[in-house]
Each structure stands twice: as C-alpha cells, then as structure tokens.
Structure 1
C-alpha cells in the first residue's frame, strides 16, 4: 500500500508513523498519559485494518481522520483533542511558512498554481504581480489574525471556501450593478475632479469606461452596466448635429440636414462603441487585469429612447462579431466586456420588430460566444415581474422596493460569498458503516453542521463591511455607483433589508448525488434527491435572511479555480473515487456533468428547474461545435431559451495560432497541453485560446483541474 503525500508524491506505508503520532499526542500533557503502549498499538492496528479495506491508496488527511475517529471510539478523548490540535497547528505552520516562498516563486515566474488561478490574469506582468503579492500577504494575515481558527481550518480542509480572502482585510465589497443612469445624468466626482453630465454620446461612452475602471479598482468582483442609459446621449448628439448643420449650412433643405445629421450620428455611434470595447480591453485596473464587466443589452418597449438603444445594441453586436485585433493585427475573440442580451416579445424570433437584432446576436454567438441570453419571460416569473442584469457574470439580486414602493436594482451590490463543498459531505457519509437510511440521515445532519459554519463565515464578511465608510470608495458610496452618501457616512444601512445580497455558494451537486444515490442527478431518482438538497440550501438562506434582516441568497458558484481546489484536496484526503475525485475537478453548481451525453434542449430543460431555487446566482450553458454555417440552429436554441430557461449561454471555440495563422479550435493533447492541430505549435505565447471559464470567457489559460474539465466537455449539439 502506498500513501499519497500532500504534494501528490506516493510513499510506502509505515504503521510506525501512526504509532509515533499517537504517542506524541498522548504524552503532550502535564498529567498522567491517557493511553498505554498497548492502547496505542491497538489503535494503530485498527487504523491499519481500516486502511487495508480501502479500494485506493489513502492520503495523509484520510489517515489522520481515521486516527481521530479511532481515538474517539476508544474514548481517548483528551488524546484525540491533542492530536486534532497538533494537526491543526501543523497545518497552520505549513501555511505560514509558505508565504515567502509563494512571493518569491511568483516573482521568479515559477508559481504555476498562481499563474493559472485566474484565466484573465498574466502573472508575468508587474502590475499583476503587485496585486498577487498584496493578496498573498493579505490572505496570510486573514488566515492567521482575522478568521477564527475553526473557520480557517474548515477552509484549509475544503469543508468550505472563504472566497477572496486576499481582499478580506480591505474595506471593499464584491460585485455590483452600476447605477449608470444616475451617474451620467447627475454627474460624479473621480479623483476629486467633477465630471458633469455628458452632452454627447461619445463623451458618455468615455465617462462610462472611466467609471468602470474606477469601480473595478475599488471592489474585487464583477460589475454590470445597462446600456439603455446611453440612448439619451445618442439623441443629444443627433440634436447637436442638427443644430450645428442648420447654423453652418443654412442653404440646405430640411431633408438634407436630417440625412447629414444621421450620418454624423452614426459615425459617432461607431466611435463611441469602439471606445467602450477598446478601453475595457486595454485598461488595467489596480488588481492587474481588465475590468470584469458585463454590458446589459435590454430593449424595453416603453423606453422613450428605444430607437437609439436598438442602434446602440446593433453596433455593439456588430463590433463584437468583428472581434478585436491582437498584436499581429488579426481579429480575435475578446474576453470582455461580457454581453448579456435580453429576449422579449419584440425580439424572440417570432416576427417581432427587433428580431433582426436577435439574428445578429445569433451570428455573434456562433463566432464569439457572446452574447449570453436572458429570457424576459422566464425572469419575470422568477423575480416578481422584473427584468434586470446580473452583477458580473451570474449574481442576481432579490427584488427590493424603495420608499416610494418602486422596484430598484441598479445601485445595489453583493457583500461576499462563502461556498460549501457538497461532494465532500457525500464522500464521508457514503463511506460510513450502516444502512443507506442511516447514511442519508447522517448526510442531512452533516449538511446542517457545515451550513452553520458557512453562515458564521458569511457573517464575518458582513461584520467586516459594517466598518466601511463612504470615504473608503467615493465612486461607490458617494458619487452614485451604488449610493450618494455624505462624506464619512457609514455604509451599514445598505447592508440590511435586502438592499444588498450575501451569498451561500455551492459546488458539485452532480458528484454529491452520484455518491449518495449511485446515479446522476439527471436520473429521476437522483433528480429527486438533488432538488431536495437545493431546496434545503435555499430554505437555510431564507431562514438566515428572516432572522438577521440581511439579504442571504443561494448562489451557483462559478468555481473557476475552486472546481480544482476542492477536488484536489478531497482526492488527497479520501483517495481517487471513480466519477468524483478521479476527474481532477468538480462540476459547477447544479450543472449536468460535462461528460454526460445529453441534448442541448434536454440539458436546458433539466437545468431550468434549479434556476428559480438558486435565485442569488445561476447560469446554464450548452456546448456547441462551430455553427457559423448553421445560424438557423442557433436561432432555434435561442427561441427555446426564451420559452424554457431564464439565463443561458453557448460555448464554442474561437482560437488563433500566431505561428501558422490557423483560426479554429486549438486542442488539448494527452498531457493536457494546448497544441495547434495544423502546425503543432505548443507555445502559449504564440496562440490565442478563448474558452468559457465560468460565466465569463477566459484567455490566459487555466489551472490543471479546469483544463481537464474543459477537455472533458461533450457537445450537446451534433456536428
């Protein structure tokens, strides 16, 4: 039998190490030791017997848990406590001793884990290194000084994930839905300089990108902007041109004046949209990356500027379809901004006035993956008749009314996320001795125990934000991105009453269902269990919300790096489990397992039943081949989305090889390395690879687990 070390190495099993560890815990007392040598030998024998019953080589953590369990069975309570305390102290020591090493390896370009942590960050850049170095130190202080030991230990052991610990010591929040209309109409201040309300579309676009950059530098999550607020400024530009032409060309008749004004307005429209696209893709925020931003494309039938906004959406889609040039001057797929296009009665491809925009969106999706699609019909069913943008890629707010009884979504935010590791509970409970009913009973007990840990961790985030004052980020709290509070004011009132959300994330519903029922959650037996789990998680959030007056919400965690981290730790602790830890990744949120063969329509129809439960954050996807030659099929799926699911996206491939000029799918070889199928190029610096990472696209490559998950995805539409 081999033992899997924490670094993945395999070493020979040695029972004497178990004896030595128990002996140290037994002697670490001022009183008489609790155990005799015979007791220690007996405990080691029982642990060894349990190890040999396993169908896999155990990890260090798994052996240690068996030791703890055996000591408790023998009623050696004090020894068990000391053993656990020693184990936790050693874990903390290992973590503390790695801070310097992480920083130095990052600077030397040798920290592959950090290089692949975020698919939109390049750790070779000085600006990114600066953010990561600050993050390493911040995470270390958070773990040692700010988190209670049991929460820090739970995070280390992958019981839960305390997201964005590298920003926890800072007075900043997670994601937000920008109140762009407020800021543009009423003006704002940036860097202590007044920015008045724009008088033209071009200036409005420039100010929008400045707002996005400033907001991104003062929070750690994504942000969204509803572009319908720009329609007003496009009309202002048109009127400006009408006035100017009449003044400078008095001999022109009215029809000629209008035609010329329309031409000039169209030119400004293209220039303004190009400003947004280029600025977002070239700006570098203080956290070393382009802003994680979503542009919301929603035509409202009662919008007085619907004509202008339709023109803006058409131009946004047209420029995204074209792409953005890389350093070789070749058009490629940019990762940002994310585009979310709303399907409604007037553009759902059933003869509506704006169907032409949806057909353009379908072409754009086939080539560039964006836009993603929200069904106004389904969203109104789930959110009290409202349609609004997610914050970033998938985080949704709950309906909230202001003092006038009006629904308000823009100008709200999220306090933070803590995610629960569902598969780990399934691993532990499925391996217990006893009947299936006994295992299931223990599962629900353990789930509730761990949910309480998540609640405690989330409240730490909440308490940290209670200390924030408006001066900490004037763009958010004083100048309209979220609020217009006085200088020095506390943001605490915005943390209650559901104005902001705070999210319980989850990952691996598929793996949990497989462990506890033996089948996928697409199987009727598995579906019943999976829905029961989801409803239980949602009920806990609703309970906490009622008890605290804080906007707890259930959120399908994007899990860009977490899908790998949880699976890696669980594999080290519990060994390789077929269909669970052996893959090297866990399935995102409630999704169908990426390896499961299912049609696009069946997948969307199945996952729709989970979205209303996971109302604090959800998105579903289908994997498609190159369908630029079959836009009609894309349109059929878009129509299906409108009638059947709130929020969905399409994954295709849009890569470019800088060596040979290949434009298509760059593939993964047997060693999970990217390679051009035409010229064999393997140099990452000489290729552009874009894949759906979570809700966003990624373009800087991925960690080992996410790479394997991407490779394993099966198509939901036949080629």
Structure 2
C-alpha cells in the first residue's frame, strides 16, 4: 500500500478521499457545481496514483502528479484551478506557521527565555519594556529579511549555524548606519543640536563630559551597533576648567596675599576633583541610560596620548586616562552595594613610545592599565607601532569588539 510522507516527516497510509476532495473543489470552482463527471475523474486520478505507486511518496510529489494528470485531460481550466487551490493552501500554511512563530517569539521574549535575543547583544536588557518593544519590531524586520531581502542560501547557512548574520532585525531592511566613530571634537568645539536645541561649546570639563554622554545617547538611538569616542577630544576642556578654577582660587584667597605656588596647588587639587566628577559622569551615564531602542550604548573609549601634540594638553589627557583607569579598577556597586565589573564602556589603551618603556614619561599609565586588566579584564591593548605598519602609518580608534 502506498505510504505518504507528510510535511512534518510522519508516514501515513495514502488516503484517496483527500485527493478526490481537492480535485472536486477545483471542478466546482470552474463549473460552479459538482457534477458526476467531476466525481468520476477525481476517483480515476486518485485510483491511478494509488495503484501505480507502492513506495513512499511525499505530499508534494502526489500533488505534482495530480496537476500533471489534470493537464493531460481536456479540462486544463480545472488544472489551473487546482494549481491556484494548491498555491492558496501553501500560502495559508505559511501564514499559519508564521503566526505561530511570531506568537512563540513574543511569549519567549516576555517570559525572558528567548535565548537568541538574549545572546545577540550584551547591551540590551530584554526585561525592560522599550527593549521588548524594539525586539517585537525587530521580529517583523527579521522576517522580511528572511523572506524577501537576504539570499536563501545565506539564511539557510545562518539557521544551520554555519554563519551568523548579526543584527538581522535591523541591518538588511532599515535605513540605519552601523557602528560610528563619534566626532566629539567637532560637536564640542563648534556646538551641536540635540532634539532641536542648540548646545554651545562647553565652558568646563565637567559640562563637556555631560554633553558627550548626551551625544552618545543620541547616536546610539539613531543606529545599530556600537560607537567609539576619543578622550583626546575632551582633553582641551581640562585647561578651560583649570583657568576658571584658578580665577576662583585667586578671588578666594586674595591675589595680593596669595602665594603663587599655593594657588597652583589648590587649582590642581580642585581640577583633579572635577576630572574625577566628569569621568564618573561618563561611566554612570553610559551604564544607566538607554537609547530610544531600549539598549545601553555600546561605547568604546579610545585612550591615545599620540593624538595630541601640545604638551599641556597631552599631560591633561594623561590625567583623564589615569582617572578612567582608577575608576574602572574601583568598579561600580550593584544593588547590594558590592563592587562589580561592568561591560561598558569598553576601554582601548594604545601602547606607544611614551608609555611602553619603564623609563618613558607615561609608563605609570601602562602599569595602571595592567593592574586594571588583572582586576577588570579591560582595557584592550592596541600597538601604535603595529597599527601604523598595517594601516598606512595611521593609528586611529576602532570598535572595542574589534581588537587590533
């Protein structure tokens, strides 16, 4: 007896009544009624398939035979009706499958056990509503990518685990950029616009840090993927704060009676406090704010002394780098007050002639970076020498997840 291999892989006995009913429906669509002739032809085709084949046949193979046999008759109009009926059934089957898949995705997301979305991006907390909303929209975009935009062989390889198509819920169909090197220097020095509001050049290091975090949040909301900032773009604002603080110190202690060395000492002390506050602002903001698509900004911080040539600015940049490393070593506290290691922002530390030798001026920063690595697994290290060899004599910021 003929066995049928169903679409789910199960094997069942051939049921001729199903073939008869499908053929009769095709005749009815054309003739607007069920005739004895239709019943007879449907029975003959079903019987011929049953008697001719005794092995296993798939559902699709049997339906192909029905099409061929109808096309061999004088009722090609019925054959076309059967083909339309078959196509409609396939579409309805796919829609039903899609609806079931969407429902399963939704439920697993709400329950927090959708492993794919949990592992896809470490900077997305799937427990919060904005992130859930973003993923629900992403399901639709991903479905569009799978069915319309991405070649089938790539989708098959992705589903089999041969390759991984990252951010499929965004990248194939959405007009968004992926991963940005944020030009903080331009926006801080020349001003920028956020949410329709003009943000002018900041007048202190602390304010520059606050504006920088707002810029990062805006960029993260307008793209998928990560972003990188360079501390060298913040360094010029250290001296702006220095001058403001020095002016206040002179006023407080009196210029006439003030000791220049004391003034400088107090100025540098307060300046370091402001640098600590600014760095802390960046760290806390980047681990607590969420972009409009419900994710924490995947930000990398580039620490490269060679980006600045002015002696004072380089020393100020070294002060910022030192504070960033010290605060990362210290860690942040979780809800129970225990220090923990945070994932973001990523830190990128460049090894160069000024910090790679024990007798070099900024060797102390490299030692501090090594201590930080031993305790917090950051920073990642970039060789200025090697990058210049590979990148046409350039050394530039990269994404934290792409170590060079």
**What is the TM-score normalised by the length of structure 1?**
0.43
Task: Report the Cα distance in structure 1 between the residues aligned to 2:223 and 2:314, rounded to whole angstroms.
Answer: 32
Aligned to 2:188: 184
Higher normalized contact order (CA 8 Å, seq sep 6+, divided by chain length) = 1
Task: Report the Cα distance in structure 2 between the residues aligned to 1:25 and 1:172, rounded to whole angstroms.
Answer: 44
Task: Report the Cα distance in structure 2 between the residues aligned to 1:180 and 1:134, rounded to whole angstroms.
Answer: 31
Aligned to 2:68: 31
Q: CA deviation at 1:214?
A: 0.9
> How many pairs does the alignment contain?
335
Matched, 1:348 2:356: yes
**What is the TM-score normalised by the length of structure 2?**
0.75
SS of the equivalent of 1:174 reads strand
Task: Report the Cα distance in structure 2 between the residues aligned to 1:364 and 1:253, rounded to whole angstroms.
Answer: 38
Task: Report the Cα distance in structure 1 between the residues aligned to 2:393 and 2:59, rounded to whole angstroms.
Answer: 65
Consecutive unaligned residues of structure 2, counting only runs of 5 or more, are: 1-7, 15-54, 71-88
| Equivalences for residues 498-517 of structure 1 within 5 A | none
Matched, 1:312 2:320: yes
| Equivalences for residues 421-460 of structure 1 within 5 A | none
> Is residue 216–residue 222 contact of structure 1 (8 Å, CA) maintained in 2?
yes
SS of the equivalent of 2:187 reads helix
Deviations 1:202-233 (A, max 9, x none): 00000111111111111110100010111100
Equivalent residue for 1:322, pick from 314, 319, 330: 330
Equivalent residue for 2:298, pick from 292, 295, 300: 292
Equivalent residue for 1:229, pick from 224, 230, 233: 233
Task: Report the Cα distance in structure 2 between the residues aligned to 1:350 and 1:16, rounded to whole angstroms.
Answer: 81
Equivalent residue for 1:358, pick from 361, 366, 382: 366
Equivalent residue for 1:375, pick from 383, 386, 396: 383
SS of the equivalent of 2:277 reads helix
Aligned to 2:25: none
Task: Report the Cα distance in structure 1 between the residues aligned to 2:58 and 2:340, rounded to whole angstroms.
Answer: 59
Task: Report the Cα distance in structure 2 between the residues aligned to 1:127 and 1:205, rounded to whole angstroms.
Answer: 26
Matched, 1:105 2:108: yes
Aligned to 1:273: 279
Task: Report the Cα distance in structure 2 between the residues aligned to 1:353 and 1:16, rounded to whole angstroms.
Answer: 84
Aligned to 2:77: none
Aligned to 1:303: 309
Higher mean alpha-carbon deviation, 109-118 vs 257-266, is at 109-118
Q: CA deviation at 1:154?
A: 5.3
**Structure number having the greater helix percentage:** 2
Equivalent residue for 2:242, pick from 238, 242, 245: 238
Equivalent residue for 1:136, pick from 136, 139, 142: 139
Aligned to 1:629: none
Q: CA RMSD in A?
A: 3.1
Q: CA deviation at 1:120?
A: 3.6
> Is residue 303–residue 347 contact of structure 2 (8 Å, CA) maintained in 1?
yes
SS of the equivalent of 1:370 reads coil
Deviations 1:689-712 (A, max 9, x none): xxxxxxxxxxxxxxxxxxxxxxxx
- Give the ranges of 4+ consecutive aligned residues of structure 1 lying more than 6 Å apart after TM superposition: 11-17, 86-93
Q: CA deviation at 1:269?
A: 0.7
Matched, 1:196 2:200: yes
Q: CA deviation at 1:257?
A: 1.5
Matched, 1:123 2:126: yes
Larger Rg: 2
Deviations 1:224-273 (A, max 9, x none): 00101111000110011122233442231222221111111111011111
Equivalent residue for 2:262, pick from 256, 263, 267: 256
Task: Report the Cα distance in structure 2 between the residues aligned to 1:222 and 1:21, rounded to whole angstroms.
Answer: 51
Task: Report the Cα distance in structure 2 between the residues aligned to 1:211 and 1:23, rounded to whole angstroms.
Answer: 58
Task: Report the Cα distance in structure 2 between the residues aligned to 1:333 and 1:257, rounded to whole angstroms.
Answer: 38
SS of the equivalent of 1:361 reads helix
